[in-house]
Amino acid sequence: MKYSEVRVPVLYGPQIPRQDRDDTRKRYYRAFLTLFVSWRNVIDLYDINQTWEDAFESRKNLISVHAWKIIENIQLLHECADGEYEVDDIDDLIQLIGSVDEFTAAAINATKKSTENVYIRETIEAVGKGGLFNHMNQHDQHVSNTSIDRQIIPFISATPNLIKLYSKWQDQLKIEKDRIRRSLISGKHNEDDDILDFNAVTDAVVTVMNPYNNQNNMEKYSSIPPVLRAAFLIITSHLDGDSRCRKGDNNGQLIICIPGCGGTGKSQLIRALTKYFLVTKRIHMMRKLAPTGIAAAEIDGITIHSFLGEQRHSGKLRTIKSGASKLENEWRPIEYLLIDEMSMGGLTLLGKLNRIICAAKHVDPQVPFGGVNVIFFGDYLQYRPVYDSPLHTDFSSSSSKKKQGKIPSEKEIQQRVSRSLILQMNCVVKLTQQMRTEDLRYLQLLDRLRHGQCNYDDYELLQTRVVGQPSIESLHDSPWNKAPILVFRNEVRTQINNKAAIHNATQMGHPPMICVAQDTCKGKAIEDPILLKKLLELSDSKTEHLPGLLPFVPGMPVILTQNIATELGLINGINGIFRQLVYHEDSVTTENVSEMFPNNTQYIRRPIYALIEIVKSKIECKLQDLQPKLIPIPLVEQTFQVDVADLIPKDKKPKSNQKTILSIKRSALPLMPAYCITIHKSQGQTLSKAVIDLKLPNETDDIAAVYVPLSRVKRLADLAILRPFDQKVLLMKPNKSQVAEIERLDQLCVKTRLRFSEWFQ
């Protein structure tokens, strides 16, 4: 088509993506193929089993010289619009920060007063008033008098022998990790003979399903809750080819959801299903996945990200090219996917999983999950995913309708497709019967809490557990001095952990020992003291969970903050006990780095590794010269961005089109103290004792903020509440999309009961 005058085309929807970013490269190639290559249908642009990058490379000769000039100019426009600092600009920016005197920096910090900071200060004060730091003695610490304690020196400079041992340990762990990962992905476990013993199947499964019953197997089987038994029979009968389970929509494909709150038997059911697949010689047909490392470890599975072969929060998806026989072979035997903790799984992640299954299985993308049967477990009233939209997102709601005048982004389109997968669930078995009841009144309270229907009696009952009441006079008393404190904010957690570490070190007669992270910018070490102080004191939630200042106390409880080896149980969120820190010689200094720590603090600037006792690790090999469950945790590198605008005086601010953002690479130990943890981190764990806070931060309206901390313990007697709280927090209700999804699942549950009525009796 030709025009008599020059015209500028205006494209609706998202802007043309850029080529030099992993998260937009796929859209880049797709957009330019669509715009500059002639086509009538999709096969003119994209062959089956071909990535968009491959499609672009094979068709770029069809793009005219004039069109190539346009493509180059679009990329140039992106680069010009960035306004980000180049190398010289970064040096100028750091120099500008260096010109700020200490009085200006103090004035900047003094202005940072907000409602949020008041909340943080009051929470920390409440912990202090609870007596946690006032009466501890050495016997009250998280230090066990084990042989490990007596044999290991907690802080030691490296020797050539220790360096060699550390290298051997890393090699051993890599071999072990690869071995277990191959078995998890391929489904190949230790192979016994292929003879199936049906009695062994029945005995094993019944025992797993009802571990609390000491009767014989027939009595055990009859005492298993009917709903739990029905869920097991529906899935295993489908596996065995029962025609009743393969009727209806989706050509016999089973997409089942098994919702239920804690203690209703989800874990037992997952173990029973695993056992059934194993003893019937079909374990290679099932994979167990979860959105987080902790959840994956609980079911002896792997994370969805790891299974897909991609990094968490990465926009780069593992692609399948034609002839990728290895990946196709990995997926070929898989017929069942078990996905736990569905509340923390998001629509974007589910969409990635769906696309890669369809591609690996060479199945029409219209077939949900490539025809693989999917079993969802979880509770929608737990915390939602942090970087994604929850599976229960309702795109037909009023808030979504307000956006109908706008063209949806590609991300939203993909999420809508993922939501359509959830809507194809054809079977629901809701678990409601408690299997570990220890406090009936408390369980009834939790059930009312789920519906926002707690009464005044419930409120008064919880008030009896507030610190300072006769039942809990002080947090310095046992067992509360060893119980983790659950809080809402990372800043609160960090400050309480630092205070606890300082106090415990003092009680032991040791100076506080602090590991200092090593930060660089464009390969250069950060030397400016004001910038360095800002970086080291940043919340680890802003530094990819690598703390700038990490205190260590002998026997201190710690949490791993990175997935070191999911297959070995070395996962983000796993608990351990600090036993030893090995560092380079002459790397300890007493020069004050931060006002957060006392003057006698010793700072370790070049750590090598830390020995952590991790009871739940899955390492089967014996590490040379190490006792079982002692794991060497290495340094980890992460890159994060930080805005330094608040460090620059107003009269020296850069131009408006320039960003005051620095990209920082940090090397540090992926650990944090666990005297105090965030409530979000506690999800999925059952705690023997817990101290929780029910005074919520402003604008908190998620029912999970109340339900998750209260449901971490089995009995009210195992709970301490940090300070008085408002009754209205017990009246928060699930949001509209949660309610709508729960009602939809309830309706499907009724249909499932009618369809398999004999199994629910």
Per-residue pLDDT tens for 601-616? 999 999 999 999 999 8
User: Which comes out higher in pLDDT, residue 358 or 398?
Assistant: 358
270 belongs to a structural domain:
yes
Mean pLDDT of 146-165: 82
DSSP structure string for 5-62: S-------SSPPPPSS-HHHHHHHHHHHHHHHS--SSGGGT--TT--HHHHHHHHGGG
Radius of gyration, CA atoms only, the chain: 28
CA-based torsion, 30, 36, 40, 46: positive or negative: negative
CB atoms within 10 A of CB 134: 12
DSSP structure string for 254-293: -EEEEE--TTSSHHHHHHHHHHHHHHTT-GGGEEEEESSH
Phi-psi region of 577 (alpha: psi -120 to 50; beta: other; left: phi over 0): beta
Q: Which two tokens stand for residue 574?
A: 């796993």
Which of 45, 64, 86 is the endpoint of a domain?
Answer: 86
Q: What is the CATH number of the domain that holds 342?
A: 3.40.50.300
Residue 276 belongs to what domain range? 225-312+320-393+418-434+743-759
Q: Which of 127-136, 218-227, 323-332 has the lowest mean pLDDT?
A: 218-227
Which of 65, 86, 107 is the endpoint of a domain?
Answer: 86
What is residue 86's predicted lDDT score, i.e. its pLDDT? 43
Q: Which of 33-42, 226-235, 358-367, 695-704 has the lowest mean pLDDT?
A: 33-42
298 belongs to a structural domain:
yes
Highest mean pLDDT: which range of 91-105, 382-396, 432-446? 382-396
Whether the per-residue pLDDT at 70 is higher than 90: the answer is no
Give Dmax over CA atoms of the chain in angstroms.
91
Whether the per-residue pLDDT at 108 is higher than 70: the answer is no
What is residue 96's predicted lDDT score, i.e. its pLDDT? 58
What is residue 218's predicted lDDT score, i.e. its pLDDT? 45
Q: Which of 3-7, 132-136, 672-676 has the lowest mean pLDDT?
A: 3-7
303 belongs to a structural domain:
yes
Whether the per-residue pLDDT at 292 is higher than 80: the answer is yes
DSSP 8-state assignment for residue 595:
T
C-beta separation of 293 from 303 below 8 A: yes
Cα–Cα dist 566/304, whole Å: 11
User: Which comes out higher in pLDDT, residue 550 or 319?
Assistant: 550
Whether the per-residue pLDDT at 365 is higher than 70: the answer is yes
Cα–Cα dist 270/230, whole Å: 13
| Digit-coded pLDDT (tens) for 216-271 | 444 455 557 889 999 999 999 999 988 777 776 677 899 999 999 888 888 889 99
Place of tokens 């930060």: 519
Per-residue pLDDT band for 298 (boundaries 50, 70, 90) equals confident
Residue 336, Cα to own-chain centre: how many angstroms?
23
* Count of alpha carbons within 13 angstroms of residue 687, beta-carbon side: 29
What is residue 36's predicted lDDT score, i.e. its pLDDT? 84
What is residue 49's predicted lDDT score, i.e. its pLDDT? 62
For residue 577, which amino acid is it?
I
Mean pLDDT of 524-543: 89
CA-based torsion, 22, 24, 30, 31: positive or negative: negative
19 belongs to a structural domain:
no
Q: Which of 157-161, 213-217, 540-544, 706-710 has the lowest mean pLDDT?
A: 213-217
Per-residue pLDDT band for 435 (boundaries 50, 70, 90) equals confident
Per-residue pLDDT band for 454 (boundaries 50, 70, 90) equals very high
Instruction: Using alpha carbons, select from 725, 691, 726, 727 the residue that is nearest to residue 710.
Output: 691
115 belongs to a structural domain:
no
282 belongs to a structural domain:
yes
330 sits in which H/E element: helix 325-331
| Digit-coded pLDDT (tens) for 559-581 | 999 888 877 888 888 899 999 99
514 SS3 class: strand
Does the predicted model carry a pTM greater than 0.75?
yes
| Digit-coded pLDDT (tens) for 632-678 | 999 999 999 998 877 776 666 665 556 778 899 999 999 999 999 99
> What value does the mean pLDDT of the chain take?
82
* Count of alpha carbons within 13 angstroms of residue 202, beta-carbon side: 10
- Give the E-state strand segments of 159-269 in sequence order: 255-259
Q: Which of 142-146, 185-189, 358-362, 436-440 has the lowest mean pLDDT?
A: 142-146
User: Which comes out higher in pLDDT, residue 33 or 480?
Assistant: 480
Instruction: Using alpha carbons, select from 271, 706, 231 the residue that is nearest to residue 431.
Output: 231
Cα–Cα dist 334/480, whole Å: 47
Whether the per-residue pLDDT at 192 is higher than 50: the answer is no
Whether the per-residue pLDDT at 694 is higher than 90: the answer is yes
What is residue 253's predicted lDDT score, i.e. its pLDDT? 92
Count of domains forming the chain: 2
User: Which comes out higher in pLDDT, residue 647 or 759?
Assistant: 759
| Digit-coded pLDDT (tens) for 36-49 | 888 877 677 777 66
Cα–Cα dist 555/566, whole Å: 24
C-beta separation of 264 from 170 below 8 A: no
What is residue 400's predicted lDDT score, i.e. its pLDDT? 54
721 belongs to a structural domain:
no
Whether the per-residue pLDDT at 748 is higher than 90: the answer is yes
**What are the backbone angles phi and psi of residue 354, rounded to the nearest 5°?**
-65, -45
C-beta separation of 527 from 518 below 8 A: no
Which of 86, 113, 131 is the endpoint of a domain?
Answer: 86
For residue 730, which amino acid is it?
L
Mean pLDDT of 489-518: 93
647 belongs to a structural domain:
no
User: Which comes out higher in pLDDT, residue 211 or 525?
Assistant: 525
What is residue 141's predicted lDDT score, i.e. its pLDDT? 42
C-beta separation of 713 from 686 below 8 A: yes
User: Which comes out higher in pLDDT, residue 17 or 705?
Assistant: 705
What is residue 45's predicted lDDT score, i.e. its pLDDT? 77
Per-residue pLDDT band for 557 (boundaries 50, 70, 90) equals very high
Q: State how beta strands 607-613 and 630-634 pair.
A: antiparallel
Strand partners, 588: 604
Beta-carbon contacts of 626 under 8 Å, excluding residues fewer than 6 positions away, are 169, 611, 632
